[in-house]
Amino acid sequence: MALFGRNKSTTATTGSVAAADPALTALTGEYTIDPAHSSIGFTVRHAMVTNVRGAFSEHEGTLSLDGADPSRSTASIDVTIAGVDTGMPDRDAHLRSADFFDAETFPLMTFRSTAAERVGDDEYRITGDLTIKDVTRPVTIDLEFNGSATDVYGNERVGFEGSATILRSDWGLTWNAALETGGVMVSDKVKLTFDISAIKNTPQG
């Protein structure tokens, strides 16, 4: 994912940066997402009147960041469906069942980036292939770069947050129930949210 910004004096153009900033170039490298300090969540309308929020507690991923040319940055994320958590065990079990994700047959949801562009000082847009069950479709995620820091253990970190809105039916997640008052139990529209902290890999040898 292209995650670089914090350079107010550099004019951003779609898909490229006018001039390389040494501070951003220094962030170039390979990163591993830290699951203990990251979250991948979702929000969906329930019974037409309220929102249900949940998260996937098990996920892993890598980022390859190019500070000189953010459009060359990439991301790969694997999410374990069995880790879905909405705070209600019965509902979580239903989500894991064949009515929804069918976690036993399709244990992972994956994202593989295909393109990235800078659209503002700290704003980026990444496009990639999202696979749920046996369906792969493109999705675009709007991101905000939250900065970089060295933590108390000497790890170099970058952080970002973002979101994307999808239609679950596009991935074959079509289970629903009609309400007596009209409408359906579960909205087709789902908002995915990402709050990610990634640690720069230390060169070996």
Give the residue from 129, 3, 110 showing the smallest Cα distance to 56. Answer: 110
Does 6 have pLDDT greater than 60? no
Please state, as a whole number, how many other Cβ atoms lie within 10 Å of the Cβ of residue 180.
5
17 vs 66: CA distance, rounded Å:
11
Query: Quick one: pLDDT band at residue 49, thresholds 50, 70, 90?
Result: confident
Place of tokens 């997640």: 173
pLDDT digits (tens, 9 = 90+) for 141-178: 999 999 999 999 999 999 999 999 999 999 999 999 99
Question: Hey, which CATH number is domain 12-41+53-90+108-163+191-200, 2.40.128.110, 1.20.1560.10, 1.10.1530.10, 3.40.630.30?
Answer: 2.40.128.110
Report the percent of the chain where pLDDT is more than 70. Answer: 88
Quote the radius of gyration of the chain (alpha carbons, Å). 19
How high is the pLDDT of residue 70? 86
Going from N- to C-terminal start, the domains of the chain cover 12-41+53-90+108-163+191-200
Angle (CA) 157 66 60, round 5°: 50
Give the residue from 149, 162, 153, 202 showing the smallest Cα distance to 30. Answer: 202
How high is the pLDDT of residue 173? 95
Does 4 have pLDDT greater than 90? no
pLDDT digits (tens, 9 = 90+) for 87-124: 999 999 999 999 999 999 999 999 999 999 888 888 88
Give the residue from 166, 159, 150 showing the smallest Cα distance to 195. Answer: 159
Report the percent of the chain where pLDDT is more than 90. Answer: 72
